[in-house]
Structure 1
Amino acid sequence: MSITNRSFLRRRALPTLTAAAAVAALLTTNLAHSAPAPRTSPVVTWAASTDLLGPAAAQDRTYRLVVHTSAGGSGLRIRLSNAYGNQPVTFGRAYAGLRSSGAALVPGSNRRLSFAGSATVTVPPRGRVYSDPLLGTVRPQSDLAVSLYVQQAGGPVTGHKMALQTSYIAPTGDHSADESATAYTTRTNSWFYLDATVVDARRGTGAVVTLGDSITDGASSTADTNRRWPEVLSRALQNDPRTRIKGVANEGISGNRVLTDGAGQSALRRLDRDVLSQRGLRTVVLLEGVNDIKATPAPTAAELIAGYRQIIARSHAAGVCVVGATVMPYEGWRQWTPSGEAVRLEVNSFIRDSGAFDAVADFDTAIKDPAAPTRILSAYDSGDHLHPNDTGMRVMGSAVAPEHLRCSKR
């Protein structure tokens, strides 16, 4: 795995040619050299939904954030978000490199990022900014380390709380250019300020965004192993030559709901920012609803379905397909009730049978116990009866058919 801007050209001896053949060969060579380079298009290769991490930002510290790519390509850029801030955040420098192990980087891979040509950028309250493209290529399924020196900050902190990925903090000073782990003495399980990375992939390459709650966020999957169901899907797409969908962005927030704010803004409120803004987006897989259903007071099935219809309509207006994922069983969880189960069944009937979605990912059927369909099959249950374990995550990721990620919206 490498970030590189070197081209390795292999020369070979040419056979002896007649004069006419030599001229023809020279013309062919010149034409080949003058042909335009293959065209590319931007596609998100990693993302995480933004949320409020805390009331007081720290400054004069460096975050080394470890993220795992999906699609490969050139021209890496990052997106920094101050969505929940009420004061500007100034990043003194930012670097991207290949993670070796822990906070250490592959020697020679750490590269300085720029923003409109400058090493420093200030992101205003509620704002976000992309870096300039970085020369070189990033391979798919790579561990990147994005190092951000926060020079000046105050007020609420924007980030993603449950990363299920260990990242690192250098508590004092600018250590963004360091390739060693020495200064990074503090570990964190959250991502700070970074909410997307983008590459230029082969033209026509697209991305899927998984919009969801803690199940999509990966709760109960093994940390630092990339076993969330969207990453299972990502690996399947990468290995499938029949599909051009290669980018996968995980926009799950633990505790998130469709209709009301709580753990993060509702899916309806954050749809534009977290989902429809992603580069190369072709399809959304929507797995939300269980937190609405088990809330007090809970919405009716009709109210939840109306929320789904809004997400579908807004996505279709943006030229994006929507795959509806059925709400999975959760009997045994402390908030399960028979009335909630009735809502779940009615909602799932809508998802499967209404035709409102462009396709269906039937996670309910894939994960339930056939002998007790209100429960997760024990082999897939993390033990809390709501969140699947690693095996369940693998089953879920395998239940999304690549052909269902295509439609005719664009």
Structure 2
Amino acid sequence: MLDTRNRTTRWMGGAAALAVAVSLTAAGSAGANDPEVGRDPAGIWAASLEGVHGVAPDVTVRQLARASVAGSGIRVRFGNPFGDAPVRIRDAWVGRNLAPGGARLIPGSNRPLTFRGSRTVAIAPGTVELSDPVPISVEAQQDLAVSVYAPGSPVNDHTFPPFAFDPPASYIGTGGNTAADPSDAAFPSVPVIPGNTSSTATGYHPGQTWWMDLVVAERPAARGTLVTLGDSITDGYQAIGPPGQRWTDVLTDRLNALPPGQRLAIANAGISGNTVSVQPNPYDPTGQCCGPPAPVRLDRDVLSVPGLRTVLLLEATNDLGGGDNAPPAPAAQVIDAMQTIIARLHARHVRVISATVLPMCNPADSTKEAARLAVNQWIRTSGTPDAVLDFDAVLRNPANPTEMTPDLRADCYHPNAAGDTLIGQSIPLQLLTR
């Protein structure tokens, strides 16, 4: 990861899938007759791909995705948005962990993934592939383990450092194709390799996943999907300390307490270091650390998610803060980007909820703070988003509104777990579910 000091209502309608994605079709699956399971597919987990880092060695990677809601008929999407050669998946399986965060699987739960009936698939540069549905079910907040063998393929990844044994995460195996093995013999839990940088070393990698960017349930226990589009604050970076959840996970727990007909799944499209406007990334001249700017990745990470009903937009910290590779953005640039994103979502009949930008410890008389206040004023008063969540008001320090309340922040840009909890609890569910 980069400099940790500076990282950070229209109604529904189905989102159009990417042209390169396999079309979603109904398929028989476990739970098909369950009256509490939805009729339309929905994205129940996501971890947006951010860059390409090296080539996969001759190993299997077992990746963990924690379902936001229960569902059955599981499909997994793999992407190669940044590679200059195909990702060649030779074998892929999906199963359920015996224990949360672990690599050992429940006996009999591991099933092979197919792609239009084939056990192998080549994902061309710039495209994605969605697996056929697998007749297994998953409970809310239960892990799915996706094991992939694709040696020699460009590693398109997602990286950030969460808590140990709290997905997303991966176990990189000791060698060869061990995707079908339900044991953890080939997937050692030590050493623990920090997820803030890409690595191909054998061991446990909290926060790192390869190729896998979306899990879909053909029959979800929800009426659709909420995509949270953002940067490191949405990704969950620095949500440290008790109770140890990202704000999106806190919100997931609250939504799961609702009846399935009101409930939304959550697909987290946060990328640490991401920008809301189209500009050079402030931290990385290679452009491979932090994902393309939000307008560039909107089709893949948001509009292609099945069941999309609402987007919660929380970005701009990295634009307004700037870095060694890009100066701080003016308010007009950020507002223009937000207007563009909202207009594109509204054109697809997707509802947009915008959140205000959190305090950043900039001096009250600084250009950066003036720009942040101008952006927040636009979010609160323009009427462009369908609803507004004032996260700035939730976390700012009453004694110094240019910073977050000290007990709620990990650093100047990021809440700690207590701050994330307060954000997740502050969101009126009726804004999401009505």
TM-score (normalised: structure 2): 0.80
Shift of 1:67: 1.1
Q: Which residue, 211, 223, 236 being the options, matches 1:218? A: 236
Q: What is the alpha-carbon distance in structure 1 between the residues aligned to residue 91 and residue 248 of structure 2?
A: 31
Q: What is the alpha-carbon distance in structure 1 between the residues aligned to residue 173 and residue 159 of structure 2?
A: 18
Task: Verify the 8 A CA contact 1:91 1:152 in the aligned structure 2.
Answer: no
Partner of 2:148: 148
The farther-off stretch of 263-272 and 165-174 is 165-174
- Paired residue secondary structure (2:427): coil
Q: One-letter code of the match for 1:312?
A: I
After superposition, the C-alpha distances for 1:269-309 in whole angstroms (9 at most, x for unaligned) are 11111111111011111110111111152222122111110
Q: What is the alpha-carbon distance in structure 1 between the residues aligned to residue 87 and residue 38 of structure 2?
A: 35
Shift of 1:201: 2.8
Partner of 2:386: 358
Which structure has the bigger radius of gyration? 1
Partner of 1:72: 70
After superposition, the C-alpha distances for 1:99-130 in whole angstroms (9 at most, x for unaligned) are 12421112221111111111111111111101
Shift of 1:74: 1.4
Q: One-letter code of the match for 1:70?
A: S
Partner of 2:83: 85
Partner of 1:167: 170
Partner of 1:392: 419
Partner of 1:300: 330
- Paired residue secondary structure (2:219): strand
Task: Verify the 8 A CA contact 1:208 1:245 in the aligned structure 2.
Answer: no
Q: One-letter code of the match for 1:129?
A: E
1:180 has 2:211 as partner: no
Figure out how many residues of one structure are paired with residues of the other and give that number: 371
After superposition, the C-alpha distances for 1:2-36 in whole angstroms (9 at most, x for unaligned) are xx9778xxxxxxxxxxxxxxxxxxxxxxxxx9xx9
Q: What is the alpha-carbon distance in structure 2 between the residues aligned to residue 78 and residue 223 of structure 1?
A: 31
| 1:243–1:163 CA distance, 2 compared to 1 (3 A) | farther
The farther-off stretch of 157-166 and 209-218 is 157-166
Q: One-letter code of the match for 2:134?
A: L
Shift of 1:386: 1.6
Q: What is the alpha-carbon distance in structure 1 between the residues aligned to residue 159 and residue 242 of structure 2?
A: 15
Q: One-letter code of the match for 1:306?
A: D
The farther-off stretch of 107-116 and 219-228 is 219-228
Q: One-letter code of the match for 1:249?
A: A
Q: What is the alpha-carbon distance in structure 1 between the residues aligned to residue 242 and residue 128 of structure 2?
A: 27
1:257 has 2:275 as partner: yes
Equivalent residue runs for 1:28-67 within 5 Å? 40-54=39-53, 56-67=54-65
Equivalent residue runs for 1:366-405 within 5 Å? 366-382=394-410, 384-405=411-432
Partner of 2:347: 317
Shift of 1:223: 9.6
Structure having the higher helix fraction is: 1
- Paired residue secondary structure (1:74): strand
- Paired residue secondary structure (1:105): coil
Equivalent residue runs for 1:99-118 within 5 Å? 99-101=97-99, 102-118=102-118
- Tell me the percent identity: 40
Shift of 1:57: 0.9
Note the residue ranges of structure 2 that are not aligned, 5 or more in a row. 1-27, 189-202, 282-289
Q: One-letter code of the match for 1:106?
A: I
| 1:251–1:298 CA distance, 2 compared to 1 (3 A) | same
Task: Verify the 8 A CA contact 1:237 1:243 in the aligned structure 2.
Answer: no
| 1:37–1:369 CA distance, 2 compared to 1 (3 A) | closer
TM-score (normalised: structure 1): 0.85
After superposition, the C-alpha distances for 1:182-203 in whole angstroms (9 at most, x for unaligned) are 1113122310010000002359
Q: Give the number of the structure with larger relative contact order, counting CA–CA contacts within 8 Å between residues 6 or more apart.
A: 2
Q: What is the alpha-carbon distance in structure 1 between the residues aligned to residue 377 and residue 261 of structure 2?
A: 29
Shift of 1:385: 2.0
The farther-off stretch of 161-170 and 139-148 is 161-170
Q: What is the alpha-carbon distance in structure 1 between the residues aligned to residue 378 and residue 359 of structure 2?
A: 16
Alignment RMSD: 2.5
Q: What is the alpha-carbon distance in structure 1 between the residues aligned to residue 361 and residue 242 of structure 2?
A: 29
Q: What is the alpha-carbon distance in structure 2 between the residues aligned to residue 317 and residue 168 of structure 1?
A: 40
- Paired residue secondary structure (1:137): strand
- Paired residue secondary structure (2:150): strand
Note the residue ranges of structure 1 that are not aligned, 5 or more in a row. 8-32
After superposition, the C-alpha distances for 1:28-52 in whole angstroms (9 at most, x for unaligned) are xxxxx9xx99871000000011111
Task: Verify the 8 A CA contact 1:45 1:248 in the aligned structure 2.
Answer: yes
| 1:223–1:391 CA distance, 2 compared to 1 (3 A) | closer
Task: Verify the 8 A CA contact 2:71 2:221 in the aligned structure 1.
Answer: no
Shift of 1:365: 0.6
Q: One-letter code of the match for 1:113?
A: L
Task: Verify the 8 A CA contact 2:78 2:211 in the aligned structure 1.
Answer: yes
Task: Verify the 8 A CA contact 2:221 2:263 in the aligned structure 1.
Answer: no
